[in-house]
Amino acid sequence: MKTVFLILFGFVILPFGLSQEFHTDFSDGTLEGWSNTDNSVDFLSVEASTTASGFNLQKICDGTNTPIGEMAIVNHENWVGNYFYNSGGGVETMINLDFITIRNPNNFDLHIRYGFTGANGYEVVTTEPIIVPALSAWNMYENHFSIIFPGIYNLTILTDTSGLPWLDIFNNVHDLFEDVVEVRILHSESISMDGEVVSGNLEIDMIEAFFLLSNDSQIKSTVEIAPNPSSDFILIKTNGISQGTIKVYSVLGEKVRHQLISSSQTKIDMQNLTCGIYFVTVKTESISSTKKIIKL
């Protein structure tokens, strides 16, 4: 499998340094571990395309009530394992399926969800789907989820948790993502681990994850951002440094906020930004730090 390095504001898209891979682009001409839900590869292929990698996965669903007719694919080889890593300074960071590139040749909209099964038997699926319009060309989409105590964001628990206190539920979902044994990508209008049975094509190109590479724990302790995720405002603390600039960028590199630092605490308004991933760059005479934030 090809290793891809793309540096962006101090972050990188690459396979993580563990036994599993957190990157898919089908550039080696293989399915890279993806299969039907019964682990067969019938009606699954890798096709030449005009995408960046030159190849994409295609599943032809025949509309029968079988794994072939179900618009879903699973992986037990890559995108499995521990989704948590230490990004420096003792900060636990969670891996995401940050971007997925999809084409929809069908005459109906796709509702793409991610499903995860842990070694502990828990199952979760993304609550909000990616809507891919009918008859649309290749496009990149994002659908962030996270587990940040005490909340679980954009994930619906499908395992029966009746009678369990919230802390136990949270810990069980955290344990799920410490040892993921199956990942699903599926089309379903309803919240489910099962893809809809349809006649049509599922076409996927690149699936990517961001990893924070900075090892400068001193800078990390100097710049603090909270809350993260946030739906309205973030507060940036620079711990005694009161001069510099703060810039917020979208994942496409567009600068969406620019503010001067005039005190050791700077409030940034996020209310009018689209939900998704952003990068906050803090620059002073002694600091140059970039951190990922989530706008809910």
- Report d(CA 63, CA 108) in Å as an integer: 14
Sign of CA dihedral 130, 133, 135, 137: negative
Three-class HEC string of 4-57: CCCEECCEEECCCCCCCCCCECCCCCCCCCEECCCCCCCCEEEEECCCCCCEEE
Q: Taking the chain, what is the end-to-end CA distance rounded to the nearest angstrom?
A: 33
User: Which pairing describes strands 44-48 and 123-126: parallel, antiparallel, or unpaired?
Assistant: unpaired
Cβ 110 vs Cβ 131: under 8 Å: yes
The full set of domains in the chain, from first to last, is: 7-212 (2.60.120.260), 217-295 (2.60.40.3080)
- Cα Rg of the chain, angstroms: 20
Residue-wise pLDDT tens digits, 6-56: 333 344 444 333 334 688 889 889 999 999 999 999 999 999 988 767 899
SS3 205: strand
Q: Whole-model pTM above 0.75?
A: no
135's CB contacts (< 8 A; 6+ apart) are 104, 105, 106, 107
pLDDT in tens, the chain (296 residues): 333 333 333 444 443 333 346 888 898 899 999 999 999 999 999 999 887 678 999 999 999 999 999 999 999 999 999 998 876 555 678 888 888 999 999 999 999 999 999 999 999 999 999 999 999 999 989 898 988 877 899 999 999 999 999 989 999 999 999 999 999 999 999 999 999 999 999 999 989 887 654 444 444 457 888 898 888 999 998 877 778 888 888 866 678 898 888 888 899 999 999 888 888 888 776 666 777 888 88
CA quadruple 195, 198, 199, 200: dihedral positive or negative? negative
